[in-house]
A and B are shown apart, each in its own frame.
Chain A
């Protein structure tokens, strides 16, 4: 056991109101998820609970030589909570931008959140298109004017394997960026 390196990665899961961020973290977390949900006073037709501070969960990815622990910090979706975005993005190594394929009216919010997060840290992102198909992926890429280097994956936030795929894609990008940084500094 002691031969195995443990590496910890802080990742943020963000996206518009009701994109499925809390569900996404809950689907993979190995520990009881820390949630701060409260009743919604607006948007009740969409859902009746919303995150007001943060969600927190953890998932491990292992191979023979190392154990990578992903610490997942979920943000509130509404821009009135944007101060929590600053707080939660501290020290992040990458982030997931989750969008709801079935509610294109939220995609402008998603673009605004992405612009804000790009200011908060020069880290890789992966876009997860929740409840989406391949054709939704193209629409999201166009609507958010995503650079072709940004991976965009259709996913189901309720499905553990699907969430894992998104996280592993992000992890690969984070590791690549870290390696590039290390090389660059030598």
Chain B
């Protein structure tokens, strides 16, 4: 089962907010509906401000979807993967870098995928077209978005 063909990259189309996430997690508080709206707005602002963004995802650190520009099933899978990437990144940061995880980058020929810590309980994933985006600019914008989302989620 190759994931390559699974994800659809039509570019981000803001999805309606997911209904409330239910009592899933004992660790991460679920955002309110207004919190989710604000997250969606921050994501939309990021894709407006930067060319080449193909997909975005925000998830809890225990792998639950808050918002993605993919379909619900794709988003659900991406949420689990993003949380695992965050956890692994945090482990690499503390063990190899003796510091706090900020972000990690996966590059393919065509795409750049950034995984950004959002506070210590959420994660932002950004998929961009390599030919349309420079890494420095992506980091600058995505880190700013991660901070904004972090503020929204800690307030909601």
Contacts and interface: CB of A to CB of B under 8 A. Distances in A.
Do A and B interact with each other, yes or no? Answer: yes
B24 A84 contact: no
Given A32-B6, A73-B63, A53 B77 contact: no
B91 A31 contact: no
B98 interface: no
A9 B62 contact: no
Nearest to B86: A87
Given A8-B21, A8-B22, A84 B84 contact: yes
A93 B26 contact: yes
B24 A6 contact: no
B27 interface: yes
A21 interface: no
Contacts of B23: 7-8, 178
Contacts of B76: 31, 58, 71
B88 A53 contact: yes
B24 A91 contact: yes
Given A91-B25, A91-B62, A34 B3 contact: yes
B152 interface: no
A116 interface: no
Interface in A41-72: 53-54, 56, 58, 69, 71
Contacts of A35: 1
A56 B25 contact: no
Contact of A33 (B1, B21, B25): B1
Contacts of B83: 87, 90
Interface string B1-21: 101001000000000000101
B80 interface: yes
In this complex, the interface size class of chain A, counting residues with CB under 8 Å from chain B, is 20 to 34
Nearest to A10: B24
Contacts of A7: 22-24
Contact of A71 (B27, B63, B84): B63
Tell me whether chain A's interface is mostly helix, strand or loop, or mixed. Answer: mixed
Contact of A73 (B1, B22, B80): B80
A87 B28 contact: no
B62 to A, nearest CB: 3
A56 B81 contact: yes
Interface string A100-128: 00000000000000000000010000000
Contact of B22 (A6, A83, A88): A6
A83 B91 contact: yes
Interface in B46-93: 60-64, 73, 76-77, 80-81, 83-84, 87-88, 91
Contact of A31 (B63, B77, B88): B77
A6 to B, nearest CB: 6
Contacts of A10: 24-25, 62-64
A44 B3 CA distance: 25
Contact of B73 (A31, A91, A178): A31
A91 B60 contact: yes
Instruction: Name the 7 nearest CB pairs between A and B, nearest first.
Output: A87-B87, A91-B62, A91-B25, A8-B24, A56-B80, A91-B27, A90-B62
